[in-house]
Amino acid sequence: MIKSRMQIRLNGGGRCSMMVYMLEKMIAQMKDNILVILNPTGSSGTGIMLDSRGIIVTNSHVVEGTSQVGITTNDRKRYLARVLVANRKVDFAFLLCPGLVFQDFPVLASRTSYMEGEDVIAIGHPLGLDFTVSKGIISSSCRQVGDVKYIQTDVPINPGNSGGPLIDIHGEIIGINTWIISDAQGLSFAVPSTYLADAYRSLPADSVIAKSVYCISCGRLGKQGKYCSECGIEHPVVELPVGLFTDTGICHTCKKQNAADAHYCTNCGGTLLRSQNQPEAEEKTVSLAADAAKKTCQSCGTEKQAGVYCSHCGTKLDA
């Protein structure tokens, strides 16, 4: 029996609605495992929580020059994470943050072939716009650069997306977004999940990790001590900028003093990090005269704010 145009339209619309629903659900679940990573040098990127131990994967260039980074979760909680190992040739790294507790974890795809034209999604924090979702297609399933085979896509990628997931329509991570050709459009490249899965399975046992230290020089995990047991270089002391991993409320970007419980700087909108397991600061009372001059965020509804940006969600406040 030949279906009428209306029947085809209705059936197609139903399938489309179901696909949209599944896509929204998949993105929402994935966001819960995606992290903002803040390097003490001032750069930032994206990371993905992989398991209940607190293992995070990102790009090695995101954690370049440090053995500790700050991370922010989708619900604005902030922690410290330590670097475990970095593969600078392929450009990926694994971190550890045992204080994080998640229920579900994303899957690193095991497949080794990809269809050109296949829909893919990227989630990351481009230019500080955290948890941004972008969509595109696979342009080349195997673009070899040197000894590394990348997935080439036309997904819009910007600084801050580095280390974020490239996701297929099944919700599996097929790679992490790594680099772009900056003077062109739609030329983005991701490290395939096969590289990540092999390295993830080779991570040391928890007992070994607990007694080891990451070397900034060689990118490997060695025995604790003044010098790296793998390359012999003395471990440098990583100095954390004031306000980056502490609860002073000082913005590491513009140095403005914020409330101790603020999530974002009210002056520049930058992310503020608080040390792990630190309780929220108690709300302080202010005078009615001061309240009158303060603003309410139109995005999240947080009231009595002074400054240019909302301290809770980072949205620019109306004048």
Q: Give the ranges where the chain is alpha helix by DSSP (H).
A: 5-31, 193-201, 206-210, 288-292
Contacts with 12 (C-beta within 8 Å, 6 or more apart), sequence order: none
Q: Is residue 101 part of a domain?
A: no
Catalytic hit among 43, 60, 134, 162: 162
What's the pLDDT tens digit per position in 151-199?
A: 999 999 999 999 999 999 888 999 999 999 988 889 999 999 999 999 9
Q: What confidence score (pLDDT) does residue 181 get?
A: 93
pLDDT beneath 50: ranges in the chain: 1-12, 245-246, 274-293
Backbone angles phi, psi at 6, to 5 degrees: -65, -40
Cα angle 123, 64, 93 (rounded to 5 degrees) comes to 55
Q: From CA 82, how far away is CA 47, in angstroms rounded?
A: 13
Clarify whether 162 is annotated catalytic: yes
Give the model's pLDDT for residue 3. Answer: 39
Do 244 and 307 lie in a common domain? yes
- Domains of the chain: total: 2
- Establish if 73 belongs to a structural domain: no
CA distance 220 to 88: 10
pLDDT at 266: 76
The angle at the Cα of 192, spanning 19 to 71, to the nearest 5 degrees, equals 80
Q: Which residues contact 274 (CB under 8 A, 6 or more apart)?
A: 78, 245, 246, 247
Question: How much is the pLDDT for 283?
Answer: 32
Give the pLDDT of residue 100.
78
| Residue where a domain stops, chosen among 160, 192, 224 | 192
268 within a domain of the structure (yes/no): yes
Indicate which CATH number applies to the domain containing 188: 2.40.10.10
Residue 134 is a catalytic residue: no
Is 261 an annotated catalytic residue? no
Residue 319 placed within a domain: yes
Q: Which of 169, 192, 215 is the last residue of a domain?
A: 192
Per annotation, catalytic residue among 60, 91, 188, 263: 91
Owning domain of residue 178: 119-192
Q: Could you tell me the two tokens for 25?
A: 């659900």
Residue 302 sits at φ, ψ, to 5 deg, of -65, 130
Query: Do the bridges between strand 68-72 and strand 34-38 make them parallel or antiparallel, or are there none, so unpaired?
Result: antiparallel
pLDDT at position 196 is 95
- The answer to whether residue 275 is domain-embedded is yes
On whether residue 299 sits in a domain, the answer given is: yes
Catalytic choice (43, 60, 61, 168): 61
Tokens of 185: 């459009």
Residue 252 lies in a domain: yes
Q: Please say which residue of 192, 226, 253 terminates a domain.
A: 192
Give the burial string for 78-107 (b: 16+ CB within 10 Å, else e): bbbbbbbbbbeebbbbbbbbbebeeeeebe
Residues 247 and 308 in one domain: yes
**pLDDT tens for each residue of 194-207:** 999 999 999 988 88
Q: How far apart are CA 134 and CA 81, in angstroms?
A: 27
In a domain, 24, yes or no: no
What's the pLDDT at 288? 35
Taking the whole predicted model, whether its pTM rises above 0.85 is answered as no
